[in-house]
Amino acid sequence: MPIPSAALELLATLAPVANRWGRWYVFGAQAVIFYGVPRLSADVDVTLALEPDAPERFAEDMTAAGFVVRVDDPDFVRRTRVMPFVHTATGMPVDVVLAGSGLEDEFLARARPANLLGMVVPIIDPADLIIAKVLAGRPKDIDDARALWTLHGDTMDADRIVQLLALLEQALAHSDLVATFERLRRPGG
């Protein structure tokens, strides 16, 4: 299933800016769509390893490229590690999640370059997308993870997914991440 044209236009504007500031990847609904799951979404989510860690300068670069900051509060960015923008040309929101160390580093290393109408854009690996969706835990995220597993599970390392979810359970004091994944990967689960 193709990524909608407004999202492609946004990514064409975002990619040069993100490439100047570090490694990045698309995740969320647009990645789910890229991997073939029918999904409606009116936004784009990316993770960026900001180099150097200068959110104010990055916001200025985004503004010069045609984005408007949705939340102009440095404390919000420090607290949430999210920089919300709107792409002026399409009116489409984009959330730039500033990567931390650990899991996001691994996701950045495993991101896959995708050719989207002649434009190379890094997309989160589908197994990592399942991990992110299980961690988010909302019903739609679990539906997305189930659909991704149904389409691509035979190409994924289920043991790696379970190991990472188990580590996240310990780190975050969750007790249901592995069980959620085990349920969604069962037929009819």
Side by side, which strands form the sheet with 112-116? 67-69, 82-87, 92-98, 44-48, 24-27, 119-123, 112-116
CATH code of the domain occupying 5-124? 3.30.460.40
pLDDT tens for residues 111-127? 999 998 888 999 999 99
CA 157-163-168 angle, to 5 degrees, is 130
User: Does pTM top 0.85 for this prediction?
Assistant: yes
Confidence (pLDDT) at 101: 76
* Six-digit token string for 172: 């975050």
In the chain, residues under CATH classification 3.30.460.40 are 5-124
Q: Which residues of the chain have pLDDT under 50?
A: none
